[in-house]
Structure 1
Amino acid sequence: MLLEGKTVLVTGASAGIGRAVAIGCARHGADVALNFARDVAGAESAVAEIEALGRKGIAIQGDVADPATAKDFVSRATEALGRVDVFVNNAGICPFHAFLDMPVETFERTMQVNLHGAYFMVQAAANQMVKQGDGGSIIAMSSISALVGGEYQTHYTPTKAGLHSLMQSVAIALGKYGIRCNSLFPGTILTDINKEDLADQGKRTYMEGRIPLGRLGQPDDLVGPTVFLASDLSNYVTGASLLVDGGAYVNLQ
Protein backbone atom coordinates (compact mmCIF):
# COMPACT_ATOMS: atom_id res chain seq x y z
CA MET A 1 0.00 0.00 0.00
CA LEU A 2 2.69 2.46 -1.04
CA LEU A 3 0.18 5.07 -2.20
CA GLU A 4 -2.34 4.89 0.62
CA GLY A 5 -3.96 8.29 1.16
CA LYS A 6 -2.78 9.65 -2.20
CA THR A 7 -4.83 10.79 -5.18
CA VAL A 8 -3.48 9.93 -8.63
CA LEU A 9 -4.52 11.41 -11.99
CA VAL A 10 -3.72 9.49 -15.19
CA THR A 11 -4.28 10.63 -18.78
CA GLY A 12 -5.09 8.22 -21.60
CA ALA A 13 -6.24 5.64 -19.06
CA SER A 14 -9.03 3.71 -20.76
CA ALA A 15 -6.61 1.11 -22.17
CA GLY A 16 -2.99 0.02 -22.36
CA ILE A 17 -0.33 1.43 -20.06
CA GLY A 18 -2.58 4.17 -18.66
CA ARG A 19 -5.26 1.70 -17.61
CA ALA A 20 -2.73 -0.67 -16.05
CA VAL A 21 -1.08 2.17 -14.14
CA ALA A 22 -4.41 3.58 -12.91
CA ILE A 23 -5.55 0.21 -11.56
CA GLY A 24 -2.08 -0.57 -10.23
CA CYS A 25 -2.02 2.68 -8.24
CA ALA A 26 -5.43 1.83 -6.79
CA ARG A 27 -4.05 -1.56 -5.80
CA HIS A 28 -1.45 0.34 -3.78
CA GLY A 29 -4.10 2.39 -2.00
CA ALA A 30 -4.66 5.45 -4.21
CA ASP A 31 -7.89 7.05 -5.34
CA VAL A 32 -7.67 7.58 -9.10
CA ALA A 33 -9.06 9.95 -11.73
CA LEU A 34 -8.82 8.80 -15.35
CA ASN A 35 -8.76 10.98 -18.44
CA PHE A 36 -9.88 9.32 -21.68
CA ALA A 37 -10.70 10.50 -25.19
CA ARG A 38 -13.24 8.12 -26.76
CA ASP A 39 -13.40 4.67 -25.15
CA VAL A 40 -16.26 5.13 -22.70
CA ALA A 41 -16.66 1.40 -22.03
CA GLY A 42 -12.94 0.99 -21.34
CA ALA A 43 -12.89 3.93 -18.95
CA GLU A 44 -15.98 2.77 -17.11
CA SER A 45 -14.63 -0.76 -16.69
CA ALA A 46 -11.33 0.64 -15.36
CA VAL A 47 -13.25 2.69 -12.79
CA ALA A 48 -15.21 -0.44 -11.84
CA GLU A 49 -11.95 -2.30 -11.19
CA ILE A 50 -10.64 0.58 -9.09
CA GLU A 51 -13.83 0.66 -7.02
CA ALA A 52 -13.70 -3.13 -6.61
CA LEU A 53 -10.36 -2.58 -4.87
CA GLY A 54 -12.10 -0.35 -2.34
CA ARG A 55 -10.78 2.91 -3.78
CA LYS A 56 -12.53 5.91 -5.32
CA GLY A 57 -12.40 6.21 -9.09
CA ILE A 58 -13.71 8.69 -11.64
CA ALA A 59 -13.46 8.85 -15.44
CA ILE A 60 -13.46 12.25 -17.14
CA GLN A 61 -13.65 12.47 -20.92
CA GLY A 62 -11.58 14.98 -22.88
CA ASP A 63 -9.19 15.36 -25.80
CA VAL A 64 -5.78 16.33 -24.40
CA ALA A 65 -4.96 18.09 -27.69
CA ASP A 66 -7.35 20.83 -26.56
CA PRO A 67 -5.57 22.98 -23.91
CA ALA A 68 -8.90 23.57 -22.15
CA THR A 69 -9.12 19.85 -21.36
CA ALA A 70 -6.21 20.11 -18.93
CA LYS A 71 -7.82 22.61 -16.56
CA ASP A 72 -11.15 20.82 -16.85
CA PHE A 73 -9.65 17.43 -15.98
CA VAL A 74 -7.63 18.65 -13.00
CA SER A 75 -10.49 20.81 -11.69
CA ARG A 76 -13.11 18.05 -11.91
CA ALA A 77 -10.75 15.43 -10.51
CA THR A 78 -9.88 17.68 -7.57
CA GLU A 79 -13.54 18.40 -6.92
CA ALA A 80 -14.35 14.68 -6.90
CA LEU A 81 -11.33 13.36 -5.01
CA GLY A 82 -10.20 16.34 -2.94
CA ARG A 83 -6.64 16.93 -4.16
CA VAL A 84 -3.88 15.93 -6.60
CA ASP A 85 -0.83 14.15 -5.20
CA VAL A 86 0.42 12.39 -8.33
CA PHE A 87 -0.03 13.20 -12.00
CA VAL A 88 0.84 10.65 -14.69
CA ASN A 89 0.98 12.00 -18.23
CA ASN A 90 0.40 8.94 -20.37
CA ALA A 91 -1.88 9.95 -23.25
CA GLY A 92 -0.20 9.52 -26.62
CA ILE A 93 -0.65 8.39 -30.20
CA CYS A 94 1.68 6.95 -32.83
CA PRO A 95 0.11 6.62 -36.29
CA PHE A 96 3.03 4.95 -38.10
CA HIS A 97 3.89 6.70 -41.37
CA ALA A 98 6.83 7.20 -43.72
CA PHE A 99 8.77 10.46 -43.50
CA LEU A 100 8.87 11.74 -47.08
CA ASP A 101 5.10 11.91 -47.51
CA MET A 102 4.09 12.59 -43.89
CA PRO A 103 0.72 14.36 -43.97
CA VAL A 104 0.78 17.71 -42.21
CA GLU A 105 -2.33 16.81 -40.25
CA THR A 106 -0.75 13.55 -38.97
CA PHE A 107 2.37 15.39 -37.81
CA GLU A 108 0.42 18.19 -36.15
CA ARG A 109 -2.08 15.88 -34.44
CA THR A 110 0.77 13.79 -32.99
CA MET A 111 2.47 16.93 -31.67
CA GLN A 112 -0.77 18.30 -30.23
CA VAL A 113 -1.66 15.11 -28.37
CA ASN A 114 1.77 13.91 -27.24
CA LEU A 115 3.65 17.12 -26.50
CA HIS A 116 1.33 20.12 -26.41
CA GLY A 117 -1.26 18.13 -24.46
CA ALA A 118 1.37 17.03 -21.97
CA TYR A 119 2.60 20.58 -21.46
CA PHE A 120 -0.81 21.96 -20.52
CA MET A 121 -1.79 18.89 -18.47
CA VAL A 122 1.43 19.07 -16.44
CA GLN A 123 0.96 22.82 -16.00
CA ALA A 124 -2.59 22.38 -14.70
CA ALA A 125 -1.61 19.59 -12.31
CA ALA A 126 1.39 21.56 -11.06
CA ASN A 127 -0.74 24.62 -10.33
CA GLN A 128 -3.09 22.51 -8.22
CA MET A 129 -0.15 20.98 -6.34
CA VAL A 130 1.35 24.42 -5.70
CA LYS A 131 -2.03 25.61 -4.40
CA GLN A 132 -2.17 22.67 -1.99
CA GLY A 133 1.28 23.57 -0.71
CA ASP A 134 2.67 20.15 0.16
CA GLY A 135 4.45 18.95 -2.96
CA GLY A 136 3.65 16.11 -5.30
CA SER A 137 4.95 13.84 -8.03
CA ILE A 138 4.62 14.29 -11.80
CA ILE A 139 5.52 11.37 -14.06
CA ALA A 140 5.73 11.50 -17.85
CA MET A 141 5.38 8.32 -19.86
CA SER A 142 8.09 9.06 -22.40
CA SER A 143 9.55 6.18 -24.46
CA ILE A 144 12.70 4.42 -25.52
CA SER A 145 11.90 6.37 -28.71
CA ALA A 146 13.20 9.48 -26.95
CA LEU A 147 16.66 7.91 -27.22
CA VAL A 148 16.58 6.08 -30.57
CA GLY A 149 15.16 6.71 -34.02
CA GLY A 150 12.35 5.02 -35.91
CA GLU A 151 11.85 5.03 -39.66
CA TYR A 152 8.09 5.33 -39.38
CA GLN A 153 8.14 7.44 -36.20
CA THR A 154 9.73 10.71 -37.32
CA HIS A 155 6.72 12.59 -35.96
CA TYR A 156 6.55 10.53 -32.74
CA THR A 157 10.13 10.30 -31.49
CA PRO A 158 10.55 14.12 -31.18
CA THR A 159 7.46 14.27 -28.95
CA LYS A 160 8.87 11.63 -26.60
CA ALA A 161 12.25 13.36 -26.45
CA GLY A 162 10.35 16.58 -25.79
CA LEU A 163 8.47 14.97 -22.90
CA HIS A 164 11.73 13.95 -21.25
CA SER A 165 13.14 17.46 -21.77
CA LEU A 166 9.96 18.94 -20.32
CA MET A 167 10.35 16.83 -17.17
CA GLN A 168 13.95 17.98 -16.76
CA SER A 169 12.96 21.63 -17.00
CA VAL A 170 9.86 21.44 -14.79
CA ALA A 171 11.89 19.49 -12.22
CA ILE A 172 13.94 22.68 -11.87
CA ALA A 173 10.95 25.01 -12.03
CA LEU A 174 8.91 23.08 -9.46
CA GLY A 175 11.57 21.83 -7.08
CA LYS A 176 11.07 24.83 -4.81
CA TYR A 177 7.49 23.67 -4.29
CA GLY A 178 8.47 20.12 -3.38
CA ILE A 179 7.12 18.77 -6.66
CA ARG A 180 9.21 15.99 -8.21
CA CYS A 181 9.15 15.43 -11.99
CA ASN A 182 10.48 12.29 -13.68
CA SER A 183 10.23 10.29 -16.90
CA LEU A 184 9.69 6.62 -17.66
CA PHE A 185 11.02 5.20 -20.93
CA PRO A 186 8.96 2.12 -21.87
CA GLY A 187 10.37 -0.14 -24.56
CA THR A 188 8.09 -2.09 -26.87
CA ILE A 189 4.93 -2.69 -24.83
CA LEU A 190 2.05 -4.70 -26.28
CA THR A 191 -0.76 -2.14 -26.55
CA ASP A 192 -3.22 -0.90 -29.17
CA ILE A 193 -0.66 1.71 -30.29
CA ASN A 194 1.54 -0.97 -31.92
CA LYS A 195 -1.00 -3.76 -32.46
CA GLU A 196 -0.99 -3.47 -36.26
CA ASP A 197 2.78 -3.01 -36.48
CA LEU A 198 3.42 -6.17 -34.47
CA ALA A 199 0.82 -8.23 -36.33
CA ASP A 200 3.75 -9.10 -38.60
CA GLN A 201 5.02 -12.25 -36.88
CA GLY A 202 8.46 -11.89 -38.44
CA LYS A 203 8.87 -8.41 -37.01
CA ARG A 204 7.55 -9.49 -33.62
CA THR A 205 9.99 -12.41 -33.46
CA TYR A 206 12.84 -10.08 -34.41
CA MET A 207 11.85 -7.57 -31.72
CA GLU A 208 11.62 -10.28 -29.08
CA GLY A 209 15.04 -11.59 -30.10
CA ARG A 210 16.64 -8.18 -29.46
CA ILE A 211 15.38 -8.00 -25.87
CA PRO A 212 17.73 -9.59 -23.29
CA LEU A 213 14.78 -10.59 -21.08
CA GLY A 214 13.34 -12.44 -24.07
CA ARG A 215 9.86 -10.95 -24.31
CA LEU A 216 7.94 -7.86 -25.27
CA GLY A 217 6.60 -5.75 -22.43
CA GLN A 218 3.11 -5.84 -20.97
CA PRO A 219 1.27 -2.75 -19.65
CA ASP A 220 1.57 -4.10 -16.09
CA ASP A 221 5.36 -3.88 -16.39
CA LEU A 222 5.01 -0.10 -15.96
CA VAL A 223 3.05 -0.31 -12.71
CA GLY A 224 6.01 -0.92 -10.38
CA PRO A 225 8.20 1.87 -11.78
CA THR A 226 5.26 4.29 -11.71
CA VAL A 227 4.33 3.42 -8.14
CA PHE A 228 7.96 3.89 -7.09
CA LEU A 229 8.14 7.39 -8.59
CA ALA A 230 4.71 8.24 -7.20
CA SER A 231 5.50 7.06 -3.69
CA ASP A 232 7.56 8.46 -0.83
CA LEU A 233 10.24 5.86 -1.63
CA SER A 234 11.49 8.27 -4.33
CA ASN A 235 11.44 11.44 -2.23
CA TYR A 236 14.89 12.52 -3.45
CA VAL A 237 14.39 11.59 -7.11
CA THR A 238 13.58 14.36 -9.57
CA GLY A 239 14.65 15.21 -13.11
CA ALA A 240 15.45 11.52 -13.59
CA SER A 241 14.54 8.92 -16.20
CA LEU A 242 14.16 5.16 -16.01
CA LEU A 243 14.25 2.69 -18.89
CA VAL A 244 11.59 -0.03 -18.69
CA ASP A 245 12.49 -1.97 -21.82
CA GLY A 246 13.70 -5.44 -20.87
CA GLY A 247 17.25 -4.33 -21.72
CA ALA A 248 16.58 -3.55 -25.39
CA TYR A 249 18.36 -0.20 -25.41
CA VAL A 250 21.72 -1.56 -24.26
CA ASN A 251 21.68 -4.59 -26.57
CA LEU A 252 23.78 -3.16 -29.39
CA GLN A 253 25.98 -6.17 -30.23
Structure 2
Amino acid sequence: MPLTPGKVVCITGASRGIGRACALEFAKHGASALILHYLGDAETEVEIQTLKVELNEKGVKVVSIPGDIALLDTTTKIVEAGVQAFGRIDVLVSNVGICPFSEFLTMPLETWERTRQVNLDGTFYIVQAVAAQMAKQTPQGGSLIAISSISGLLGGAQQCHYGPTKAAITNLMQNCAVALGKYGIRANAVLPGTIATDINKEDLQNDEKREYMVNRTLIGRLGTPEDVAGPVVFFASDLAKYVTGTSLIVDGGIFVNFQ
Protein backbone atom coordinates (compact mmCIF):
# COMPACT_ATOMS: atom_id res chain seq x y z
CA MET A 1 0.00 0.00 0.00
CA PRO A 2 1.51 3.38 -0.99
CA LEU A 3 2.06 5.74 1.93
CA THR A 4 2.30 9.04 0.04
CA PRO A 5 -0.10 8.69 -2.92
CA GLY A 6 -0.38 11.77 -5.07
CA LYS A 7 1.84 13.93 -2.89
CA VAL A 8 4.20 16.59 -4.23
CA VAL A 9 7.53 16.27 -2.44
CA CYS A 10 10.43 18.73 -2.33
CA ILE A 11 13.88 17.38 -1.41
CA THR A 12 17.04 19.44 -1.03
CA GLY A 13 20.38 17.80 -1.74
CA ALA A 14 18.65 15.12 -3.78
CA SER A 15 21.40 14.03 -6.16
CA ARG A 16 23.10 11.56 -3.82
CA GLY A 17 23.09 9.92 -0.38
CA ILE A 18 20.07 10.36 1.85
CA GLY A 19 18.36 12.81 -0.49
CA ARG A 20 18.53 10.43 -3.44
CA ALA A 21 17.35 7.48 -1.33
CA CYS A 22 14.39 9.57 -0.13
CA ALA A 23 13.44 10.45 -3.71
CA LEU A 24 13.38 6.78 -4.72
CA GLU A 25 11.47 5.78 -1.57
CA PHE A 26 8.81 8.43 -2.17
CA ALA A 27 8.45 7.19 -5.74
CA LYS A 28 7.97 3.67 -4.40
CA HIS A 29 5.22 4.91 -2.10
CA GLY A 30 3.16 6.71 -4.69
CA ALA A 31 4.37 10.32 -4.67
CA SER A 32 3.17 11.87 -7.93
CA ALA A 33 5.80 14.57 -8.31
CA LEU A 34 9.23 15.43 -6.95
CA ILE A 35 10.94 18.81 -6.72
CA LEU A 36 14.64 17.98 -6.57
CA HIS A 37 17.28 20.47 -5.51
CA TYR A 38 20.98 19.80 -6.13
CA LEU A 39 24.20 21.81 -5.97
CA GLY A 40 24.66 22.14 -9.71
CA ASP A 41 28.35 21.36 -10.19
CA ALA A 42 29.43 18.91 -12.89
CA GLU A 43 29.26 15.86 -10.62
CA THR A 44 25.81 16.53 -9.15
CA GLU A 45 24.50 17.48 -12.61
CA VAL A 46 25.26 13.98 -13.84
CA GLU A 47 23.81 12.43 -10.67
CA ILE A 48 20.53 14.34 -10.86
CA GLN A 49 20.04 13.47 -14.52
CA THR A 50 20.41 9.74 -13.85
CA LEU A 51 18.00 10.06 -10.92
CA LYS A 52 15.45 11.86 -13.10
CA VAL A 53 15.60 9.08 -15.67
CA GLU A 54 15.03 6.46 -12.98
CA LEU A 55 12.10 8.39 -11.51
CA ASN A 56 10.52 9.08 -14.90
CA GLU A 57 10.63 5.35 -15.64
CA LYS A 58 8.57 4.88 -12.48
CA GLY A 59 5.99 7.36 -13.74
CA VAL A 60 6.98 10.18 -11.37
CA LYS A 61 7.05 13.76 -12.63
CA VAL A 62 10.23 15.63 -11.75
CA VAL A 63 11.50 19.18 -11.79
CA SER A 64 15.11 19.86 -10.75
CA ILE A 65 16.66 23.10 -9.53
CA PRO A 66 20.41 23.69 -9.05
CA GLY A 67 21.95 26.13 -6.61
CA ASP A 68 23.81 26.79 -3.37
CA ILE A 69 21.27 26.25 -0.59
CA ALA A 70 23.13 28.79 1.55
CA LEU A 71 21.83 31.52 -0.78
CA LEU A 72 18.27 32.73 -0.22
CA ASP A 73 17.80 33.08 -3.98
CA THR A 74 18.17 29.31 -4.36
CA THR A 75 15.23 28.69 -2.04
CA THR A 76 13.12 31.19 -3.98
CA LYS A 77 13.88 29.35 -7.22
CA ILE A 78 13.09 25.94 -5.69
CA VAL A 79 9.65 26.96 -4.42
CA GLU A 80 8.72 28.96 -7.51
CA ALA A 81 9.72 26.13 -9.86
CA GLY A 82 7.88 23.54 -7.80
CA VAL A 83 4.65 25.50 -7.54
CA GLN A 84 4.76 26.49 -11.20
CA ALA A 85 5.18 22.85 -12.24
CA PHE A 86 2.83 21.14 -9.77
CA GLY A 87 0.68 23.81 -8.14
CA ARG A 88 1.50 22.93 -4.53
CA ILE A 89 4.04 21.35 -2.16
CA ASP A 90 2.86 18.70 0.31
CA VAL A 91 6.15 17.53 1.80
CA LEU A 92 9.56 19.07 2.37
CA VAL A 93 12.69 17.05 3.13
CA SER A 94 15.40 19.55 4.09
CA ASN A 95 18.42 17.35 3.66
CA VAL A 96 21.45 19.40 2.57
CA GLY A 97 24.33 19.29 5.01
CA ILE A 98 28.11 19.50 5.07
CA CYS A 99 30.66 18.42 7.67
CA PRO A 100 34.24 19.37 6.81
CA PHE A 101 35.94 17.69 9.78
CA SER A 102 38.19 20.18 11.56
CA GLU A 103 40.10 20.55 14.82
CA PHE A 104 38.43 23.16 17.01
CA LEU A 105 41.50 25.17 18.04
CA THR A 106 42.76 25.57 14.48
CA MET A 107 39.42 25.74 12.68
CA PRO A 108 39.38 28.56 10.13
CA LEU A 109 36.52 31.00 10.65
CA GLU A 110 35.49 30.32 7.06
CA THR A 111 34.82 26.65 7.94
CA TRP A 112 32.51 27.67 10.78
CA GLU A 113 30.70 30.23 8.63
CA ARG A 114 30.24 27.97 5.61
CA THR A 115 28.98 25.07 7.74
CA ARG A 116 26.47 27.33 9.49
CA GLN A 117 25.36 28.93 6.24
CA VAL A 118 24.71 25.63 4.46
CA ASN A 119 23.34 23.58 7.35
CA LEU A 120 21.37 26.07 9.41
CA ASP A 121 20.74 29.12 7.25
CA GLY A 122 19.89 26.95 4.25
CA THR A 123 17.49 24.87 6.32
CA PHE A 124 15.80 27.97 7.73
CA TYR A 125 15.36 29.51 4.27
CA ILE A 126 13.75 26.46 2.66
CA VAL A 127 11.61 25.55 5.68
CA GLN A 128 10.23 29.09 5.95
CA ALA A 129 9.52 29.40 2.23
CA VAL A 130 7.86 25.99 1.87
CA ALA A 131 5.84 26.53 5.05
CA ALA A 132 4.56 29.83 3.65
CA GLN A 133 3.43 27.98 0.52
CA MET A 134 1.77 25.22 2.57
CA ALA A 135 -0.07 27.81 4.66
CA LYS A 136 -1.67 29.51 1.66
CA GLN A 137 -2.45 26.57 -0.60
CA THR A 138 -5.81 24.81 -0.65
CA PRO A 139 -6.19 22.64 1.27
CA GLN A 140 -3.68 24.03 3.76
CA GLY A 141 -1.06 21.91 5.42
CA GLY A 142 1.82 19.59 4.83
CA SER A 143 4.77 17.85 6.40
CA LEU A 144 8.16 19.45 7.05
CA ILE A 145 11.00 17.01 7.70
CA ALA A 146 14.54 18.15 8.48
CA ILE A 147 17.53 15.83 8.44
CA SER A 148 19.38 16.63 11.66
CA SER A 149 21.94 14.32 13.31
CA ILE A 150 22.80 12.62 16.58
CA SER A 151 25.81 14.95 16.43
CA GLY A 152 23.35 17.56 17.66
CA LEU A 153 22.98 15.51 20.85
CA LEU A 154 26.52 14.17 21.27
CA GLY A 155 30.02 15.60 21.12
CA GLY A 156 32.71 15.04 18.51
CA ALA A 157 36.26 16.38 18.63
CA GLN A 158 36.17 17.45 14.98
CA GLN A 159 32.52 18.51 14.87
CA CYS A 160 32.44 21.64 17.04
CA HIS A 161 31.01 23.50 14.04
CA TYR A 162 28.73 20.75 12.71
CA GLY A 163 27.06 19.58 15.93
CA PRO A 164 25.70 23.01 16.91
CA THR A 165 24.07 23.45 13.49
CA LYS A 166 22.34 20.10 13.83
CA ALA A 167 21.18 20.84 17.37
CA ALA A 168 19.72 24.09 16.05
CA ILE A 169 17.93 22.28 13.21
CA THR A 170 16.26 19.89 15.66
CA ASN A 171 15.15 22.83 17.78
CA LEU A 172 13.99 24.73 14.70
CA MET A 173 11.58 21.92 13.86
CA GLN A 174 10.23 21.87 17.40
CA ASN A 175 9.52 25.58 17.23
CA CYS A 176 8.05 25.30 13.73
CA ALA A 177 5.69 22.59 14.99
CA VAL A 178 4.35 25.07 17.54
CA ALA A 179 4.19 27.99 15.11
CA LEU A 180 2.65 26.13 12.18
CA GLY A 181 0.21 23.68 13.72
CA LYS A 182 -2.69 26.08 13.15
CA TYR A 183 -2.08 25.77 9.41
CA GLY A 184 -2.17 21.99 9.48
CA ILE A 185 1.59 21.83 9.01
CA ARG A 186 3.57 19.19 10.90
CA ALA A 187 7.30 19.59 11.56
CA ASN A 188 9.63 16.79 12.60
CA ALA A 189 13.33 15.96 12.58
CA VAL A 190 15.18 12.76 11.71
CA LEU A 191 18.52 12.31 13.48
CA PRO A 192 20.75 9.82 11.65
CA GLY A 193 23.79 8.27 13.23
CA THR A 194 26.78 7.20 11.15
CA ILE A 195 25.41 6.71 7.65
CA ALA A 196 27.77 5.71 4.85
CA THR A 197 27.49 8.74 2.56
CA ASP A 198 29.83 11.24 0.92
CA ILE A 199 29.72 13.47 4.01
CA ASN A 200 31.88 11.00 5.96
CA LYS A 201 33.42 8.90 3.17
CA GLU A 202 36.93 10.22 3.76
CA ASP A 203 36.67 9.83 7.55
CA LEU A 204 35.48 6.22 7.24
CA GLN A 205 38.36 5.26 4.97
CA ASN A 206 40.32 4.91 8.20
CA ASP A 207 39.78 1.20 8.95
CA GLU A 208 40.24 1.67 12.69
CA LYS A 209 37.68 4.49 12.81
CA ARG A 210 35.22 2.53 10.66
CA GLU A 211 35.50 -0.57 12.86
CA TYR A 212 35.00 1.55 15.96
CA MET A 213 31.83 3.09 14.56
CA VAL A 214 30.47 -0.29 13.48
CA ASN A 215 31.11 -1.68 16.96
CA ARG A 216 29.28 1.28 18.51
CA THR A 217 26.08 0.20 16.77
CA LEU A 218 23.82 -2.51 18.16
CA ILE A 219 22.90 -3.69 14.67
CA GLY A 220 26.49 -4.53 13.72
CA ARG A 221 26.75 -2.33 10.64
CA LEU A 222 26.82 1.27 9.53
CA GLY A 223 23.60 2.81 8.28
CA THR A 224 22.70 3.26 4.63
CA PRO A 225 20.76 6.13 3.05
CA GLU A 226 17.83 3.74 2.62
CA ASP A 227 17.73 3.22 6.39
CA VAL A 228 16.94 6.92 6.76
CA ALA A 229 14.55 7.19 3.82
CA GLY A 230 11.98 4.87 5.42
CA PRO A 231 11.46 7.00 8.55
CA VAL A 232 11.32 10.12 6.37
CA VAL A 233 8.49 8.67 4.29
CA PHE A 234 6.71 7.68 7.52
CA PHE A 235 6.79 11.27 8.76
CA ALA A 236 5.43 12.43 5.40
CA SER A 237 2.58 9.94 5.41
CA ASP A 238 -0.82 9.87 7.07
CA LEU A 239 0.50 7.18 9.39
CA ALA A 240 2.18 10.11 11.17
CA LYS A 241 -0.75 12.54 10.89
CA TYR A 242 -0.75 13.09 14.68
CA VAL A 243 3.04 13.34 14.97
CA THR A 244 4.63 16.78 15.11
CA GLY A 245 7.51 18.38 16.99
CA THR A 246 9.16 14.98 17.23
CA SER A 247 12.81 13.96 16.85
CA LEU A 248 13.48 10.41 15.67
CA ILE A 249 16.96 8.93 16.13
CA VAL A 250 17.95 6.55 13.33
CA ASP A 251 21.38 5.30 14.33
CA GLY A 252 21.39 1.52 14.80
CA GLY A 253 21.58 2.03 18.58
CA ILE A 254 24.72 4.19 18.83
CA PHE A 255 23.10 6.81 21.04
CA VAL A 256 21.97 4.36 23.75
CA ASN A 257 25.13 2.22 23.65
CA PHE A 258 26.79 3.74 26.70
CA GLN A 259 28.68 0.62 27.77
TM-score band, normalised by the shorter chain? Answer: over 0.9
Report SS of the residue matched to 1:49.
helix
User: What CA deviation, in whole Å up to 9, does each residue of 1:166-202 have, x standing for no partner?
Assistant: 0000101100000000000000000000000000011
Superposed CA RMSD in Å reads 0.8
In structure 2, stretches of 5+ residues that fail to align are none
Mapped partners of 2:76, 2:144: distance in 1: 16
Mapped partners of 1:83, 1:93: distance in 2: 28
Correspondent of 1:171 among 157, 177, 180: 177
Partner of 1:154: 160
Correspondent of 1:246 among 229, 232, 252: 252
User: What CA deviation, in whole Å up to 9, does each residue of 1:57-96 have, x standing for no partner?
Assistant: 1211011100111111011011112210000000010000
TM-score when scaled to structure 2?
0.96
Q: Say whether the 8 Å CA contact 2:146–2:170 is kept in structure 1.
A: yes
Please tell me whether residue 58 in structure 1 is matched to residue 60 in structure 2: no
Q: Say whether the 8 Å CA contact 2:63–2:81 is kept in structure 1.
A: no
Q: Spell out structure 1 runs of 4+ moving beyond 4 A.
A: none
Aligned residues: 253
2:177 corresponds to which letter in structure 1?
A
1:58 corresponds to which letter in structure 2?
V
User: What CA deviation, in whole Å up to 9, does each residue of 1:104-130 have, x standing for no partner?
Assistant: 111100000000010010001001101
Q: Say whether the 8 Å CA contact 2:142–2:184 is kept in structure 1.
A: yes
Please tell me whether residue 33 in structure 1 is matched to residue 29 in structure 2: no
2:103 corresponds to which letter in structure 1?
A
Instruction: Report the Cα offset of residue 5 of structure 1.
Output: 0.7
Mapped partners of 1:214, 1:138: distance in 2: 31
2:210 corresponds to which letter in structure 1?
R
Partner of 2:120: 115
Report SS of the residue matched to 2:144.
strand
1:186-201 map, 5 Å = 186-201=192-207
Report SS of the residue matched to 1:9.
strand
Partner of 2:3: 2
